[in-house]
């Protein structure tokens, strides 16, 4: 079955109900959201009644909650805890709080950017990420953490299968079972892999990590060439990867039943003409046919 959706907004007044309604307005059957600002720690308490109402709405509309995704805020950087580990408590306790919010909201997959090693070495960054995951996940049950495959912008860790494998290899056994991977077609392209060779990429992933560890794919086009290490998402079919190669990823039988999430930019023709592209992108994906919805 095709599980297709997009990034949607989680707002204070409507919370998960707003998330579900926005996803339905795009004809999506899954969604991804941040539980608050991705650049700050400000979080509003989860309203139980709204959560219950949202799950009822999901059941009525055949949205499978197990395929839906939360995205962790960008400010968590497990690769580098700062001078003398001063930020270890801050990053790990904020991440733990996000995991608890996932449980409260009953959306139990959370995508995490592995982090940037900045002034450390990549090897130190990898060790720190594993240390943080082992610490946070040792006594939290019922949430999957999906490490995102990154573009390799700056000092990002996770822009190769080998990086992700190195982190996963350092996980304690009961933590390993809770950690998965989220692929991203824009990031894979920008990291240096041609999406035309996606099956070769999956072969390598399967040998080194195992395809059962793939739990989500961000299906973004890219503004940049293969290997650019830039990370600028383009609308679906409007970038350097192009519609056909992206469709081949979505319908690759090896990724059957894996949630596919659009994180493409809003269309911005001018100040007054700005809108979400997801309804049109999802329609094109379902029809496997590219209709230019931006320029017509
Ligand atoms: Zn991400």
CA angle, 37 then 87 then 115, to 5°: 60
Question: Cα of 90 to ligand 1 centre, how many Å?
Answer: 20
Question: Cα of 60 to ligand 1 centre, how many Å?
Answer: 29
Mean pLDDT along residues 281-289: 98
Question: Cα of 257 to ligand 1 centre, how many Å?
Answer: 20
The pLDDT tens digits for 18-55 are 999 999 999 999 999 999 988 888 899 999 999 999 99
The pLDDT tens digits for 88-120 are 999 999 999 999 999 999 999 999 999 999 999
> Per DSSP, what are the bridge partners of residue 179?
145
The answer to whether 184 and 220 are in contact (CB under 8 A) is yes
Question: Cα of 218 to ligand 1 centre, how many Å?
Answer: 8
pLDDT band at 269 (very low <50, low <70, confident <90, very high): confident
Burial class from Cβ neighbours inside 10 Å (0-12, 13-18, 19+) for residue 252 reads middle
Question: Cα of 296 to ligand 1 centre, how many Å?
Answer: 30
Q: Which two tokens stand for residue 62?
A: 């055949």
> Per DSSP, what are the bridge partners of residue 33?
70
Question: Cα of 17 to ligand 1 centre, how many Å?
Answer: 23
Residue 115, classed as helix, strand or coil, is coil
Query: Has domain 4-287 been given CATH number 3.40.50.261?
Result: no
pLDDT band at 1 (very low <50, low <70, confident <90, very high): very high
Asked if residue 86 has pLDDT above 80, the reply is yes
Q: Between these two residues, 260 and 84, which has the higher pLDDT value?
A: 260
- pLDDT score for 118: 97
Question: Cα of 147 to ligand 1 centre, how many Å?
Answer: 9
- pLDDT score for 270: 83
Structural domain boundaries in the chain: 4-287
- pLDDT score for 271: 82
How much of the chain exceeds pLDDT 90, in percent? 95
Q: What is the pTM of this model?
A: 0.97
> Per DSSP, what are the bridge partners of residue 70?
33, 110
- pLDDT score for 123: 98
pLDDT band at 165 (very low <50, low <70, confident <90, very high): very high
**Whole-angstrom distance, CA of residue 206 vs CA of residue 219:** 19
The pLDDT tens digits for 118-146 are 999 999 999 999 999 999 999 999 999 99
Q: Which two tokens stand for residue 76?
A: 């968590």
Instruction: Look up tokens 């940037």; give the residue.
Output: 116
- pLDDT score for 170: 98
Give residue 142's region: left, alpha or beta (phi > 0; psi -120 to 50).
left
């Amino acid at each position: 079955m095709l599980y297709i959706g997009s990034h949607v907004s989680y707002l204070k007044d409507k919370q998960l109900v707003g998330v579900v309604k926005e996803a339905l307005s795009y004809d999506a059957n899954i969604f991804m959201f941040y539980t608050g600002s991705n650049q700050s720690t400000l979080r509003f308490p989860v309203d139980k009644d709204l959560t219950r109402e949202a799950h009822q709405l999901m059941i009525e509309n055949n949205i499978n909650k197990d395929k839906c995704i939360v995205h962790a805020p960008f400010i968590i950087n497990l690769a580098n805890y700062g001078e003398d580990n001063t930020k270890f408590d801050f990053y790990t306790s904020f991440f733990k709080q996000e995991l608890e919010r996932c449980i409260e909201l009953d959306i139990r997959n959370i995508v995490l950017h592995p982090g940037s090693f900045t002034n450390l070495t990549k090897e130190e960054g990898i060790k720190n990420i594993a240390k943080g995951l082992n610490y946070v996940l040792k006594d939290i049950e019922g949430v999957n953490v999906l490490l995102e495959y990154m573009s390799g912008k700056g000092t990002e860790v996770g822009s190769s299968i080998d990086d992700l494998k190195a982190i996963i290899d350092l996980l304690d056994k009961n933590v390993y079972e809770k950690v998965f991977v989220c692929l991203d077609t824009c990031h894979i392209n920008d990291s240096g892999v041609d999406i035309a060779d996606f099956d070769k990429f999956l072969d390598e992933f399967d040998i080194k990590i195992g395809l059962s560890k793939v739990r989500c794919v961000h299906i973004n086009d890219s503004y940049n060439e293969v290997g650019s290490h830039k990370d600028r998402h383009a609308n679906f079919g409007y970038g350097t990867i192009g519609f056909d190669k992206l469709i081949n990823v979505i319908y690759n039988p090896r990724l059957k039943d894996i949630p596919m999430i659009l994180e493409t930019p809003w269309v911005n023709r001018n100040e007054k003409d700005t809108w979400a592209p997801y309804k049109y992108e999802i329609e094109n994906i379902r029809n496997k046919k590219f209709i230019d919805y931006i320029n017509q």
